[in-house]
């Protein structure tokens, strides 16, 4: 579905409801696509183990710059 910017402003509540139900709405400006209104994807439920695994994957390749965790903690406490 395509709607102009002015129509989108006028009927925003209706368009949001349509998007919530799964409709994809292109908002145009002077006939050219400017934005797309889409439904929000539901967040996936993770098990505790999946969450830990993802955190460990994110940590790979990160370093503390040669500092220990205690040194980093103490640096944050200095004023």
CATH number at residue 27: 3.40.1620
**Residue 29, in any domain of the structure:** yes
- Range of the structural domain that residue 32 is part of: 2-37
The more confidently predicted of residues 40 and 78 is: 40
The pLDDT assigned to 24 comes to 94
Please count the other Cβ atoms lying within 10 Å of the Cβ belonging to residue 16. 14
Instruction: Kindly report whether the global pTM for this prediction surpasses the value 0.75.
Output: no
Residue 24 maps to a domain: yes
Q: How far is CA 18 from CA 31, 43, 75, in A?
A: 21, 20, 51
At 6-48, the pLDDT tens digits run 999 999 999 999 999 999 999 999 999 999 999 988 777 889 9
Decide if 43 is inside a domain. Answer: no
Q: What backbone phi and psi angles, to 5 degrees, belong to 25? A: -120, 120
The reply to whether 7 and 30 lie within a common domain is yes
Beta bridge partners of 18: none
Residue predicted with more confidence, 39 or 65: 39
HSE (side-chain half, CA atoms, 13 Å) at 46: 9
Are 33 and 52 within one domain?
no
Q: Give a yes or no: residue 55 inside a domain.
A: yes
């Amino acid at each position: 579905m395509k709607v102009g910017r002015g129509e989108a402003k006028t009927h925003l509540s209706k368009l949001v409801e349509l998007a919530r139900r799964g409709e994809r709405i292109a908002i145009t400006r002077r006939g050219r696509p400017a934005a797309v209104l889409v439904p929000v994807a539901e967040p996936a439920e993770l098990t505790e183990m999946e969450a830990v695994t993802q955190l460990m994957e994110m940590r790979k390749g990160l370093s503390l710059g040669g500092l220990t965790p205690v040194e980093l903690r103490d640096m944050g406490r200095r004023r």
